[in-house]
Chain A
Amino acid sequence: MPSVTDYCKTIEKNDENLFLTILMNIWCYGTLLLWTTFGILVFPFVFALCLLFLRWSADKLARWFIWLYGRGWLILMSPFVRFRREQMDQLEEGKPYLFVVNHLSFFDTYCMALLPVHDVSFAVRSWPFRMFWYSGFMRLARYLDVEGSSWDEILSNCRAAFSAGGTVLFFPEGHRSRDGQLQRFYSGGFKAAISTGVPLVPLCIDGTDRLLPPGRKLLRSCHIRLRVLEPIDTSAFAEEDGHLHLRKLVKGRMAEALKEMRNGKDVTEGGANDAGSAT
């Protein structure tokens, strides 16, 4: 891991303002801590009231609260980070989808609050379930533990989420990329989409590796973009090795889209809109 001196040199090299970076870290970590503490303290009362009046299932309500928590994080970060959403109109409201997204940073999950969909069950590895301040909410929201569950359990939970009109999100790389490039894709999400018969939607995120890459603690001002790619009808991949073909197709499309995004190419149709502003 680079020392603080190395880090400062990098910042200077990138013509960034050290004062701004320090201010950003104090603001972002401080408000994140306050926002999380506030959420944990207030959640039980508001959750009980919403259960009573909205009459949603507890897991759906928990996922909505998590999405709202993510939205709050986006607002808190917005003085230092510009968020941009692209091609959100690819998604139809209330339709079940299985999302797959590339993974660059711990904060990728927070950025999923950029999606216009609030009922998202995350498929995650076992370690996030060990973060005691989050695990209760994750279990309440019925997030999928892809390491600690059998394949039948994962599939059954996916079916339950889809039948309730929700969506499921997988990180097909399984872990954060260390160099920003797409890593090897695992098959689970692709098999689940084909088995349950829902459309698969690739998502591409860019910029969170500059915000907070693996192995670093200091946040940096950046632009974050989330692009929705065209949904893929999975019924055409029903043959035995269909998930292998689907996986390759999706990875190719995501690699192409990420290349475009990193070369600064904007979408020409489907629209894009900023969800925050940078300083």
Chain B
Amino acid sequence: MTEQEVIELIDSSLAEEFELDRADMVPEANIYEDLGLDSLDTVDMVIVLEGAFNFKIREEEAIRAIRTLADIHRFVLEKVAEHG
């Protein structure tokens, strides 16, 4: 998958699960303040991303530091690269 395809899969998966408006999903969007997610949604977000990319990320400490959509893109791109 190319970087753009990974980002598109992330955004489309999150948009579908959390009924987000794609126009609001800019990289600098804060997932809590701008996209309206709550702490339980963060857990759901992990489930959604694991389902979309077929990897396990729930034990990753870095997830706790995620604040923006760009953080998610970066984090997933790193994981995809690790898994080849």
CA distance A185 to B44 in the complex (A): 13
CB neighbours (8 Å) of A39 from chain B are none
CB neighbours (8 Å) of B19 from chain A are 184-185
Chain B: interface residue total (CB-CB under 8 A): 13
- In the complex, the answer to whether A151 meets B39 with C-beta atoms within 8 Å is yes
CB neighbours (8 Å) of A185 from chain B are 19
Q: Is A176 an interface residue, CB under 8 A from the partner?
A: no
A175's nearest neighbour on chain B, judged by CB, is B36
B18, B40, B48: which contacts A184 (Cβ < 8 A)?
B18
Q: Is B57 an interface residue, CB under 8 A from the partner?
A: no
CA distance A144 to B39 in the complex (A): 16
| Nearest CB of A to B40, in Å | 5
CA distance A240 to B18 in the complex (A): 17
> For chain B, what secondary structure do more than half of its interface residues adopt (helix, strand, loop), or is it mixed?
helix
| Nearest CB of A to B3, in Å | 27
CA distance A19 to B20 in the complex (A): 43
A150's nearest neighbour on chain B, judged by CB, is B39
Chain A residues 164-185 with CB under 8 Å of chain B are 184-185
CA distance A244 to B51 in the complex (A): 12
Q: Is B78 an interface residue, CB under 8 A from the partner?
A: no
A186's nearest neighbour on chain B, judged by CB, is B38
CA distance A185 to B37 in the complex (A): 11
Chain A residues 78-112 with CB under 8 Å of chain B are none
Please tell me the size bucket of the interface on A: 10 to 19
Q: Is B8 an interface residue, CB under 8 A from the partner?
A: no
Q: Is A269 an interface residue, CB under 8 A from the partner?
A: no
B20, B36, B40, B51: which contacts A187 (Cβ < 8 A)?
B40
CB neighbours (8 Å) of A151 from chain B are 39-40
- In the complex, the answer to whether A187 meets B47 with C-beta atoms within 8 Å is no
A188's nearest neighbour on chain B, judged by CB, is B40
CB neighbours (8 Å) of A241 from chain B are 44, 47, 51
- In the complex, the answer to whether B41 meets A187 with C-beta atoms within 8 Å is yes
Q: Is A227 an interface residue, CB under 8 A from the partner?
A: no
| Nearest CB of A to B39, in Å | 7
Chain B residues 11-42 with CB under 8 Å of chain A are 17-20, 36, 38-41
- In the complex, the answer to whether B36 meets A191 with C-beta atoms within 8 Å is no
- In the complex, the answer to whether A240 meets B41 with C-beta atoms within 8 Å is no
CB neighbours (8 Å) of B17 from chain A are 244
A-B contact pairs, 12 of them (CB 8 A): A184-B19, A185-B19, A186-B38, A186-B41, A187-B40, A187-B44, A188-B38, A191-B40, A241-B51, A244-B17, A244-B47, A244-B48
- Sorted from nearest, which 5 A-B pairs have the closest CB atoms? A184-B19, A187-B40, A241-B47, A188-B40, A187-B44
Name 13 extra pairs, CB < 8 A, besides A151-B40, A244-B44.
Answer: A151-B39, A184-B18, A184-B20, A186-B40, A186-B41, A187-B40, A187-B41, A188-B38, A188-B40, A191-B40, A240-B47, A241-B47, A243-B44
Chain B positions near chain A (C-beta within 8 angstroms): 17-20, 36, 38-41, 44, 47-48, 51
